[in-house]
């Protein structure tokens, strides 16, 4: 697909005023892909790459280098670093690739911030997280595509090219889930919107909708894992659902989230 084009120039960029030891491997990997150190210009596209795995970040840079356009890559290995970059004055990006499993905050928060700051920015998740509630939450937060890290580098390269053409990529396994969900979803008005959820049950549901595991939810709420498991059982019973994704979807349909 890209044989007709010479590799694009990839310009590594460090957009943070303070040293970021965790990012050094990523930045080094990016610089090794190109000999150019030219600054941004009007023809150079700007990519925000939020990824804490240096080896995978290098693969992403290799995929970007296969594109016909010239790219300036701006990286963050942690969510807070990404938020600071997004909120810089006169900032802009042409594409954002965001991992959901960041070491400090959820990638979902980064997606929300990007979508709020740049409503038209194409945002694509590239993650190992394939849990149905996380995928739905990312799309609802503003993501326009979702690729799994177990895809081949060729598929990721194709996905990046599709985004720039206005086609938003979705890993096949996720596409099957979404189409199945849409096909089986019933648009029925609720006769009883008072599910009598306790504040702690609602808090549990909110954390789960952000893609956190039961263990992480327990840590965030300062309770035992067994308490979270009990809250989930109560949520299923009160909402009359059988899965986590059904519980989150129903809660959103009734403006509980």
> CA 159: distance to chain centroid?
15
Tokens found for residue 235: 């949520």
DSSP output for 153-198: HHHHHHHHHHHHTT---B-HHHHHHHHHHHHH------S-------
Cα-based angle 155, 158, 160 (whole degrees, multiple of 5): 110
Cα(208)–Cα(214) distance, integer angstroms: 8
Question: Residue 49 in contact with residue 102, Cβ under 8 Å?
Answer: no
Residue from 211, 142, 214, 145 nearest 178 by CA: 145
Per-residue pLDDT reduced to its tens digit, 91-135: 999 999 999 989 999 999 999 999 999 999 999 999 888 877 888
pTM (predicted TM-score): 0.59
Give the C-alpha separation, 71 to 82, whole Å.
Answer: 18
Paired with 49 in beta bridges are 75, 97
Q: Token pair for residue 16?
A: 């943070």
pLDDT tens for each residue of the chain, 257 residues long: 333 444 444 444 544 333 343 333 333 333 333 323 334 556 789 999 999 999 999 989 888 888 888 899 999 999 999 999 999 999 999 999 999 989 999 999 999 999 999 999 999 999 888 877 888 889 889 998 899 888 888 888 888 888 888 888 888 777 776 666 665 554 444 444 678 889 899 999 999 988 888 999 999 999 999 999 999 999 998 998 888 888 888 888 887 87
Contact 210, 135 (CB under 8 A): no
> Helices H, strands E: what count in the chain?
11, 6
Which 8-state DSSP code applies to residue 106? B
């Amino acid at each position: 697909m890209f044989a007709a084009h010479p590799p694009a120039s990839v310009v590594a960029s460090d957009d943070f005023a303070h040293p970021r030891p965790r990012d050094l491997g990523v930045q080094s990997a990016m610089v090794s892909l190109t000999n150019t150190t030219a600054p941004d210009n009007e023809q150079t596209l700007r990519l925000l790459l939020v990824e804490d795995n240096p080896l995978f970040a290098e693969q992403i840079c290799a995929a970007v280098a296969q594109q016909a356009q010239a790219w300036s890559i701006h990286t963050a290995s942690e969510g807070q670093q990404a938020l600071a970059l997004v909120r810089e004055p006169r900032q802009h990006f042409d594409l954002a690739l965001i991992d959901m499993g960041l070491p400090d905050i959820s990638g979902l928060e980064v997606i929300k911030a990007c979508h709020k700051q740049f409503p038209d920015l194409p945002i694509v998740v590239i993650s190992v997280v394939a849990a149905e509630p996380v995928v739905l939450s990312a799309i609802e937060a503003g993501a326009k595509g979702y690729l799994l890290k177990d895809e081949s580098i060729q598929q990721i390269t194709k996905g990046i090219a599709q985004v720039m053409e206005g086609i938003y990529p979705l890993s096949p396994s996720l596409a099957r889930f979404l189409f199945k969900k849409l096909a089986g979803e019933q648009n029925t008005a609720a006769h009883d919107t008072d599910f009598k959820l306790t504040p702690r049950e609602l808090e549990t549901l909110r954390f789960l909708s952000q893609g956190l595991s039961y263990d992480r939810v327990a840590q965030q709420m300062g309770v035992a894992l067994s308490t979270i498991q009990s809250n989930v059982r109560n949520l299923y019973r009160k909402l009359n659902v059988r899965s986590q994704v059904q519980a989150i979807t129903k809660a959103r349909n009734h403006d509980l989230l």
